[in-house]
Amino acid sequence: MFEYRMTEIKNDQKLVKEFISGNESAFNRLAKRYQEKIYWHARRMTGNHLDADDIVQQVLLVMYKKLKTFNFDSSIYTWIYKITSTRSLNLIKRNKLRSFISIDNIIETRVTAKEDIISDLETKERLEKVERLLQRISPKQREVFIFRKFDELSYEEISGITGKSIGALKANYFHAFNKLKELIKNE
């Protein structure tokens, strides 16, 4: 796992350097490498396809504009996760705020949106169940849970991304797991 990640980091660095030196297709390759990770993190955080799609486009835009000043202090993948995480949390806050002040019916629109990338009914139902459960835990707990369970990041990596202490992250993960257990029990 460690060796695999090191190889990925080196490949990423190579692509970034190519992009900085003017090779636009290097950016496309980097984007393709991370687009699914970005999408699924955002999708699990927000619970719907349209918001996740918005976030993917936003993250790519930030990557495109900021990569040229990337100083390699951290790895590209943690940097991309950092942008994805911030954008996801901001969008969740914005949607909450909108639902409070009723600027529009964004939440309803998002939930009932028919557009999705999953056509298989059984898969869709399973995913919806998972999404519904995840939406019932707080965004902070949800974030740690997703990073651990789906993105398979270590607490050290998550700490580097979120800026939170490992102790706080473990506590959030514990509460998330515990709450999900109760929710599944009461289904």
Q: Which residues are at the interface with other proteins (CB under 8 A)?
A: 28, 31-32, 35-36, 39-40, 56-58, 60-61, 64-65, 89, 93-94, 96-98, 100-101, 103, 117-120, 123, 126-127, 129-130, 133, 138-139, 145, 148-150, 170, 173-174, 177-178, 180-181, 184-185
Q: Nearest approach, Cβ of 100 to other proteins (angstroms)? A: 6
> 9-17: long-range contacts (C-beta < 8 A, 24 or more apart)?
9/75, 9/76, 9/77, 12/75, 12/76, 12/77, 13/72, 13/76, 16/67, 16/70, 16/72, 16/76
Kindly tell me which of 21 and 101 has the beta carbon lying closer to other proteins: 101
Distance, in Å, from the CA atom of 120 to the CA atom of 30, rounded to the nearest integer, reads: 29
Q: Nearest approach, Cβ of 73 to other proteins (angstroms)? A: 21
Strand intervals (E) in 43-153: none
**Burial of 122 from C-beta contacts in 10 A (0-12 / 13-18 / 19+):** exposed
Kindly tell me which of 15 and 180 has the beta carbon lying closer to other proteins: 180
Q: Nearest approach, Cβ of 39 to other proteins (angstroms)? A: 7
Q: Nearest approach, Cβ of 180 to other proteins (angstroms)? A: 5
Kindly tell me which of 6 and 184 has the beta carbon lying closer to other proteins: 184
C-alpha dist (Å) from residue 51 to 13, 17, 96, 104, 161 = 29, 31, 13, 15, 21
Q: Nearest approach, Cβ of 184 to other proteins (angstroms)? A: 5
Kindly tell me which of 111 and 184 has the beta carbon lying closer to other proteins: 184
Kindly tell me which of 11 and 40 has the beta carbon lying closer to other proteins: 40
Q: Dihedral of the CA atoms 147, 148, 150, 151 (nearest 10)?
A: 50
